[in-house]
């Protein structure tokens, strides 16, 4: 199997698996306890928090809130800040956000908070001035992703942060950096964001664990209630093994980032070059100079993506169309719709995403396999 769906999930890095091992067996305690077994787990949790804070450039370890994944981190960032602000403050976001952001915003909308979804251009880029211009003194939160999970387009998040501050707004800025972290230098200073969401399984950690960076001073209302863990911001018994594995993967991904960009970028570029040489009508649905190195979002005119993906799977190539977060439901892509694509054109688009295990050879082999299937369909 040639696996080209790393945007959905990527294999665990060996560093993460090794780091998790003790916490799956010997160090099994609940870190909320007071005895020695629990305290050993607690120490591991807090060491992981310190490392995560350092990797993100946070001012304090307690600015890191551990969550059950990127979806929960997005919900906590959007709904948590909005509910904490009280009143009927608006939410400003973009039309191409992950559904975890959009549905959280719409939930708050049903509670009386106006929601503004700023559009994008044909390349999927938001307009900085439109985002900043949509903010007023009562805005509760602005949420714009660092990189799109479908097309890989990099959004100008730092420029948005600079624009907000330049306009005198103190509105919290959240960025969903779930897709970006594997290949982009996601830090507090590089994004300018007040809240940053990550999900471990996108960069070589385990599934079911993530984090939300919350700048000191930003108030968030918890969306999970119970034991009051994470300073009351996120209740629930900690997944110690998962947290330790996530932070080990963060360290490995950070250390490997430049090599990742070269190695995986070469795989993606070879893949697209070979397919472009075979099909002169191939369309690449992203600005070449402003997208993640691991993403290739392509359109083969006249070829339905659903059929293409089924036949690719039979041929030993795993790829995707749209987001992988809809529980298997077949839905039109809201991202491609926001970019102005007609339903017919959007139905001919597929997403091929590479990961830390890939090299240029992967790109060449994958291109040959995809070309054979597309040629057969045509």
The mean pLDDT of 346-365, rounded to a whole number, is 96
Identify the pLDDT of residue 330.
55
| Mean of all residue pLDDT scores within the chain | 95
Instruction: Express each pLDDT in 161-174 by its tens digit.
Output: 999 999 999 999 99
Which pLDDT does position 188 carry in this prediction?
98
pLDDT at residue 285 is higher than 70: yes
Q: Which helix (H) or strand (E) holds 65?
A: strand 64-67
3-14 burial code (b ≥16 CB/10 A, e <16):
bbbbbbbbebbe
| Cβ(177)–Cβ(196) below 8 Å | yes
Query: What pLDDT score does 325 carry?
Result: 54
Indicate if the pLDDT at residue 326 is higher than 90.
Answer: no
Phi–psi pair at 258, nearest 5 degrees: -65, -40
pLDDT, position 248: 98
The pLDDT score that the predictor gives to residue 203 is 98
Has residue 143 got a pLDDT over 50?
yes
List pLDDT tens digits, range 2-11: 999 999 999 9
Q: Which of 167, 231, 325, 377 is catalytic?
A: 325
| Residue range 189-202, pLDDT digits in tens | 999 999 999 999 99
Which residue has 């050879």 as its token pair? Answer: 361
Active-site residue 325, yes or no?
Answer: yes
Output 37-42 pairs: Cβ under 8 A, ≥24 positions apart.
41/238, 41/240
| Alpha helix positions (H), 138-214 | 157-166, 188-191
Burial class (CB in 10 A: 0-12, 13-18, 19+), 61: middle
Does 229 have pLDDT greater than 50? yes
16 has pLDDT over 60: yes
Report, as an integer, the average pLDDT of 248-264: 97
Strand order across the 173-176 sheet: 64-67, 210-214, 195-199, 173-176, 141-143, 91-94, 115-118
Query: Does residue 40 have a pLDDT over 50?
Result: yes
Model pLDDT, residue 327: 46
- Residue 187's contacts (CB-CB under 8 Å, 6 or more residues apart) are 55, 56, 57
β-pairing, 283-284 with 210-214? unpaired
Residue entry with tokens 């396999």: 369
Q: What's the confidence (pLDDT) of residue 18? A: 98
High-pLDDT (> 90) share of the chain, %:
92
- pLDDT tens by residue, 87-124: 999 999 999 999 999 999 999 999 999 999 999 999 99
Q: Cβ-count burial of 35 within 10 angstroms (0-12 exposed, 13-18 middle, 19+ buried)?
A: exposed
Half-sphere exposure (CA, 13 Å, Cβ side) for 206? 22
Alpha helices in 70-178 (DSSP H): 70-75, 81-85, 99-110, 128-133, 157-166
Read off the DSSP letter of residue 77. I
Average pLDDT in the 151-178 region?
97
The proportion of the chain whose per-residue pLDDT surpasses 70, expressed as a percent, equals 97
Residues in Cβ contact with 378 at an 8 Å cutoff, skipping those fewer than 6 apart: 302, 303
Give the containing element (helix H, strand E) for 351: strand 349-353
Instruction: Walk me through the domains of the chain, giving residue ranges and CATH numbers.
Output: 2-8+256-377 (3.90.1150.10), 14-252 (3.40.640.10)
Tell whether the model's pLDDT for residue 340 goes beyond 60: yes
Please state the rounded mean pLDDT for residues 340-350. Answer: 96
- Cα→Cα distances 115→102, 106, 138, Å: 9, 7, 12
Residues 76, 78, 81, 87, CA torsion sign: negative
């Amino acid at each position: 199997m040639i696996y080209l769906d790393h945007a959905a999930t990527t294999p665990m890095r060996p560093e993460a698996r090794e780091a998790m091992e003790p916490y799956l067996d010997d160090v099994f305690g609940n870190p909320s306890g007071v005895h020695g077994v629990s305290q050993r787990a607690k120490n591991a949790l807090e060491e992981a928090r310190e490392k995560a804070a350092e990797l993100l450039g946070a001012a304090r370890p307690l600015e890191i809130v551990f969550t059950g994944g990127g979806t929960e981190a997005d919900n906590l960032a959007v709904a948590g800040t909005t509910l904490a602000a009280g009143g009927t403050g608006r939410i400003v976001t973009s039309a191409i956000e992950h559904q975890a952001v959009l549905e959280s915003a719409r939930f708050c909308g049903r509670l009386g908070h106006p929601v503004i979804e700023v559009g994008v251009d044909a390349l999927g880029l938001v307009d900085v001035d439109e985002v900043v211009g949509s903010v007023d003194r009562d805005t509760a939160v602005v949420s714009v992703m660092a990189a799109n999970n479908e097309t890989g387009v990099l959004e100008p998040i730092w420029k948005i942060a600079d624009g907000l501050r330049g306009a005198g707004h103190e509105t919290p800025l959240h960025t969903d950096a779930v897709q970006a972290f594997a290949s982009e230098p996601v830090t507090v200073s590089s994004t300018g964001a007040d809240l940053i969401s990550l999900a471990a399984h996108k960069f070589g950690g385990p599934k079911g664990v993530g984090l939300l960076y919350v700048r000191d001073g930003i108030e968030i209302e918890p969306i999970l209630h119970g034991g009051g863990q994470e300073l009351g911001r996120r209740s629930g018994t900690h997944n110690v093994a998962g947290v330790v594995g996530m932070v080990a993967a963060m360290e490995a991904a950070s250390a490997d980032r430049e090599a990742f960009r070269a190695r995986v970028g070469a795989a993606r570029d070879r893949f697209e070059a070979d397919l472009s040489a075979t099909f002169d009508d191939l369309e690449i649905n992203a600005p070449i100079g402003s997208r993640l190195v691991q993403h290739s979002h392509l359109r083969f005119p006249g070829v339905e993506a659903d059929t293409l993906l089924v036949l690719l799977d039979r041929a030993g190539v795993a790829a995707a169309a749209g987001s992988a977060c809809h529980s298997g439901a077949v839905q039109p892509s809201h991202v491609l719709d926001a970019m102005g694509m007609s339903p017919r054109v959007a139905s001919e688009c597929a997403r091929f995403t590479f990961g830390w295990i890939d090299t240029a050879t992967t790109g060449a082999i994958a291109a040959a396999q995809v070309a054979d299937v597309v040629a057969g369909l045509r």
